[in-house]
């Protein structure tokens, strides 16, 4: 009698060490697994739920004595960040241990701008006290608690921002005008001025070191104007208090004081001396090597901050007062490449991730949002019950964390990926996370998985403000559609959202 036996080599099935995993044989024939898609769907659903369960983005908070107004990353140290506050205090924080490493005393007013050199050895600060100060950043093993300024420059006007070249030894300050400095002189190397507007922010281009972009703010103006007959009749009816006037080649708006206007209406005088507000709301591009600006883009609302994409230097994104962010291509400024919505109030600051795939924004609505560079809606929203208006935000140099500074005297540290597991991962853990991420990407279009992944809990005031904003946007859209439907064909053209906020482009 012959008995057939299975002969196997013990070397192929015996573990070399007791900690090794047992070898498991699998047959990947799809005929043996008719429920493969259903099993994957359930796993994707569970992965989406686990992402919500482990989504704890808040890491910690660091306290200041006053509201935080600006921040700057240290390119030479991954864990260091410079922070300026409204009381003139400048600190270098170690975000890993969440402690103050150095203090830079000297400013007597709010610190408006901070920037570090490319090697991280020097720090430049400016503020509302009309002073530019330059500091030498001590090395890590230094025992100094506070640092004295290396030198300073006093101006007649307050400064609103400063930024350093990505490659070079020049930096730019903005306020009443744009000034270009270097570290060896005590006077501006070059100055730019276009109009009477005050410049709010400045950012150098990462790919072209001599190119920079600035944004302008509201400026007060006092002058005399003669109203037209139609405008005067509208004013008599009380239906108009905002008028447009031309200053040179720029068209601006003047908001007339109602009391002054009423006095002139009673006396039937059409020549009105007003003290109003001139709104320039411009984004201006400068070349450091030239003596004149390159381009100027005028929008309907002002831009609070600008950020260049580090991986695509021809693109930049503007944080606007209307609650949206507008991405532009430097070569084609007549329309935005993308409009990023979701904020319920003005966007105060913006910063790109070093990867160029995402950017973070801080808003007056007390939230921090993370957007994809080509996404119209935010990927993530961060908020706490105590966090107030967010004035400045930054991505960490490794794109793993987000730092925000707000009006409640606190600097907060967040994870860029809310459910990311911190610390060293074992190989099996890493493979499991990659597998879950692949499943979520494969089944993200299905209704239940999509609903879980998109859901974000919002505080009630922000939820109501966002709902009201959507209602107003939808009402305006319906109104435009009805106007077009009840007008002659071709008489009314509806502008897309990418062009709607642009007034004109000036060269």
CATH code of the domain in which 379 resides: 2.130.10.10
User: In this structure, are 237 and 332 located in the same domain?
Assistant: no
Q: Do 416 and 285 fall within a single domain?
A: yes
Does 462 map to a domain? Answer: no
Q: Of all residues in the chain, what percent are helix, strand and coil, respectively (each to 5)?
A: 20, 35, 45
**Residues 182 and 89 placed together within one structural domain of the fold:** yes
Q: Cβ(221)–Cβ(276) under 8 Å? A: yes
Name the band, by pLDDT with cuts 50, 70 and 90, for residue 187.
confident
Half-sphere exposure of 368 (CA within 13 A, CB side): 31
Element (H, E) at 261: helix 258-266
Q: What is the pTM of this model?
A: 0.83
The answer as to whether 239 is a domain residue is yes
Residue 350 sits in the same domain as residue 369: yes
pLDDT at 271: 44
Instruction: Indicate whether 124 and 225 sit together in one domain.
Output: no
* Three-state secondary structure call for residue 497: helix
Tens digits of residue pLDDT in 293-333: 888 999 999 999 999 999 999 999 999 999 999 999 999 99
Tell me how far the alpha carbon of residue 372 is from its chain's centroid. Answer: 12
State how far the Cα of 314 lies from the Cα of 317, in Å rounded to an integer: 11
Residue 457, CA atoms < 13 Å, CB-side half-sphere: 7
Shortest CA distance to 124 belongs to which of 62, 169, 67? 169
Please give the pLDDT value at position 236.
Answer: 46
Which three-class secondary structure state does DSSP give residue 224?
strand
Q: Quick check: 430 pLDDT over 50?
A: yes
How many domains would you assign to the chain? 2
Place 230 in a pLDDT band, splitting at 50, 70 and 90. very low
CA gap 424, 434 in Å, rounded: 15
Which residues 6+ apart lie within 8 Å of 406 measured at CB? 67, 68, 362, 366, 387, 388, 389, 390, 391, 412
CA distance 203 to 192: 15
Distance CA(29)–CA(317), nearest Å, equals 50
What are residue 60's DSSP bridge partners? 413
pLDDT in tens, 29-52: 888 888 889 999 999 999 999 999
Is the per-residue pLDDT at 268 higher than 80? no
- CA 317 to CA 238: how far, in whole Å? 39
Give which of 159, 161, 478, 473 is closest to 322, Cα–Cα.
473
pLDDT at 20: 85
Above 80 in pLDDT, residue 338?
Answer: yes
Q: Is 167 helix (H, G, I), strand (E, B) or coil?
A: coil
Q: For residues 48 and 217, which has the higher predicted lDDT (pLDDT)?
A: 48
- Residue 373 · residue 390 · CB < 8 Å: no
**435 falls within a domain:** no
Q: How many CA atoms lie within 13 A of 118 on its CB side?
A: 10
Is the pLDDT score of 220 beyond 80?
Answer: no
Three-state secondary structure call for residue 165: coil
Q: How far apart are CA 501 and CA 318, in angstroms?
A: 12
Indicate the range of 180-184, 273-277, 427-431, 483-487 predicted with least confidence. 273-277
pLDDT digits (tens, 9 = 90+) for 276-298: 444 568 899 999 888 788 889 99
d(CA 321, CA 159): 20
pLDDT at residue 216 greater than cutoff 80: yes
Averaged pLDDT for residues 77-106: 91
Both 255 and 269 in one domain: the answer is yes
d(CA 476, CA 478): 6
Confidence of residue 152 (pLDDT cuts 50, 70, 90): confident
**H/E element holding 351?**
strand 347-352
- Give the pLDDT band of residue 359 (cuts 50, 70, 90): very high
pLDDT band at 248 (very low <50, low <70, confident <90, very high): very low
378, 401, 427: which is the final residue of a domain?
Answer: 427
Question: How do residues 363-409 score in pLDDT, each as one tens digit?
Answer: 999 999 999 999 999 999 999 999 999 999 999 999 999 999 999 99
Q: At a CB cut-off of 8 Å and minimum separation 6, what does 189 contact?
A: 170, 180, 181, 182
Question: What is the span of the domain harbouring residue 337?
Answer: 59-216+280-427
Which residue did the predictor score with more confidence, 466 or 151? Answer: 466
What is the model's pLDDT at position 279?
Answer: 53
Domain match, 98 and 153 both: yes
Among 30-44, 127-141, 223-237, 360-374, the minimum mean pLDDT is found in 223-237
Which candidate, 80, 186, 88, places its Cα nearest to that of 137?
A: 80
Cα gap 96→268, rounded to integer Å = 68
């Amino acid at each position: 009698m012959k008995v057939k036996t299975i002969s196997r080599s013990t070397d192929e099935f015996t573990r070399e060490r007791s900690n090794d995993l047992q070898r498991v044989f699998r047959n990947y024939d799809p005929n043996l697994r008719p429920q493969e898609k259903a099993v994957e769907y359930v796993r994707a659903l569970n992965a989406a739920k686990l992402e919500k369960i482990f989504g704890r983005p808040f890491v910690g908070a660091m306290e200041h004595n006053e509201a935080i107004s600006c921040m700057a990353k240290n390119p030479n140290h991954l864990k260091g960040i410079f922070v300026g506050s409204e009381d003139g205090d400048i600190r270098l924080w170690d975000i890993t241990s969440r402690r103050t490493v150095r203090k830079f005393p000297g400013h007597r007013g709010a610190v408006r701008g901070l920037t570090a050199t490319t090697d991280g050895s020097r720090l430049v600060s400016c503020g509302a006290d009309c002073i530019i100060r330059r500091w030498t950043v001590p090395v890590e093993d230094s025992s100094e608690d506070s640092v004295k300024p290396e030198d300073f420059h006093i101006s007649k006007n307050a400064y609103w921002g400063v930024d350093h070249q990505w490659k070079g030894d020049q930096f730019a300050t903005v306020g009443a005008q744009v000034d270009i400095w270097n570290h060896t002189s005590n006077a501006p190397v070059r100055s730019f001025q276009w109009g009477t507007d005050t410049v709010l922010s400045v950012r150098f281009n990462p790919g072209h070191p001599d190119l920079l972009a600035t944004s302008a703010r509201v400026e007060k103006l006092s002058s005399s104007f003669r109203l037209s007959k139609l405008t005067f009749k509208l004013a008599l009816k009380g239906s108009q208090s905002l008028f447009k006037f031309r200053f040179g080649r720029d068209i601006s708006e003047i908001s007339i004081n109602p009391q002054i206007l009423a006095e002139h209406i009673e006396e039937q005088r059409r020549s009105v001396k007003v003290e109003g507000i001139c709104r320039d709301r411009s984004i201006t591009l400068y070349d450091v090597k030239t003596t004149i600006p390159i381009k100027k883009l005028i929008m309907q609302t002002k831009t609070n901050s600008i950020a260049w994409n580090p991986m695509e230097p021809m693109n930049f994104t503007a944080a606007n007062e209307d609650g949206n962010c507008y991405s532009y291509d430097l070569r084609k400024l007549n329309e935005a490449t993308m409009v990023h919505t979701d904020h319920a109030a003005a966007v105060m600051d913006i910063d790109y991730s070093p990867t160029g795939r995402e950017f973070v924004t801080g808003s007056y609505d007390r939230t921090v949002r993370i957007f994809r560079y080509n996404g119209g809606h935010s990927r993530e929203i961060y908020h706490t019950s105590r966090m107030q208006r967010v004035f400045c935000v930054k991505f960490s140099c490794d794109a793993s964390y987000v730092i925000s500074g707000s009006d409640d005297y606190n600097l907060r540290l967040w994870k860029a990926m809310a459910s990311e597991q911190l610390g060293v991962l074992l190989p099996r853990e890493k493979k499991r996370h990659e597998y879950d991420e692949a499943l979520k990407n494969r089944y993200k279009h299905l209704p239940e998985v999509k609903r879980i992944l998109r859901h974000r809990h919002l505080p009630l005031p922000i939820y109501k403000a966002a709902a009201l904003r959507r209602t107003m946007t939808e009402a305006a859209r319906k109104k435009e559609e009805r106007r077009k439907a009840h007008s002659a064909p071709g008489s009314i053209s509806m502008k897309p959202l990418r062009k709607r906020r642009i007034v004109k482009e000036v060269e």
